[in-house]
Every structure is written in C-alpha cells, then in structure tokens.
C-alpha cells in the first residue's frame, strides 16, 4: 500500500469526490484521530486501507 490521493480513491470506488466526502462523514472522528483533515488531498497508506475496507474498494 502507498499514499494515495482522495481523487484516486474516489476513482477506484467509481464515485465522485462529493460522494466520497459524504461517505466519510460517519467516520469523521476516526479519520481525525488518524490525522486526516477534511481538506487534505493526500491519504496515508493506513487511512487509504481503512477507507478501502470500510467501503469495500479493491485497491491495486
């Protein structure tokens, strides 16, 4: 796993950035504790894996 952009994660899920943002709302506290701010564009490998697992996204 490598760092990835939110745009790459949204593309992998087949959704828009707006939809990805809405999907993340219930996990806002967990993401904040991992160091992610709402306007961050780059996701750490740990955060990318967390979101991929929550949303059942197959990442390369």
Q: Tell me the mean pLDDT in the region 31-46.
A: 94
pLDDT recorded at residue 34:
95
pLDDT recorded at residue 47:
96
Q: What's the mean pLDDT when you consider all of the chain? A: 94
pLDDT tens-digit series, residues 3-32 = 999 999 999 999 999 999 999 999 999 999
- Tell me the pLDDT band of 35, cut-offs 50, 70 and 90: very high
Report the percent of the chain where pLDDT is more than 90. Answer: 90
Which residues does 10 contact at the CB level (< 8 Å), separation at least 6?
16, 17, 19, 20
For residues 29 and 11, give the distance between their C-alpha atoms in angstroms, rounded to a whole number: 24
């Amino acid at each position: 796993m490598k760092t990835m952009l939110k745009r790459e994660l949204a593309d992998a899920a087949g959704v828009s950035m707006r939809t990805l943002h809405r999907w993340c709302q219930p996990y806002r506290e967990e993401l904040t504790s991992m160091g992610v701010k709402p306007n961050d564009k780059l996701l750490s490998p740990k955060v990318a894996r967390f979101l991929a697992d929550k949303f059942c996204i197959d990442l390369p």
